[in-house]
Amino acid sequence: MKIASIHIYPIKSLGGISLQSANVLGKGLAYDRRWVLIDGEGLFQSQRTLPNMALFSVLLNKESLT
């Protein structure tokens, strides 16, 4: 088996990040799907109901997620 690419999605329903390597934790890849966006009523938001979420990008570095 050969891994061709590694992608994580730190915030569910937002754009992914391509990685050269990743740490595997007990619950999957580090930083993958660790956060979600919620509305004012505490309801999870996704591209199913808000397709424009696909236009957002995520940057991850050693100090922050932006």
Q: Residue 59 — pLDDT band, cuts 50, 70, 90?
A: confident
- φ/ψ region of 3 (left if φ > 0, alpha if ψ in -120 to 50, else beta) reads beta
Q: Phi and psi (nearest 5°) for 29? A: -70, 145
Q: Locate 40 and state its tokens.
A: 């004012």
Q: Residue 61 — pLDDT band, cuts 50, 70, 90?
A: confident
Cα 49 from Cα 66, distance rounded (Å)? 23
The conformation of residue 20, written as its DSSP 8-state character, comes to: S
* pTM, 2 dp: 0.78
pLDDT at 57: 87
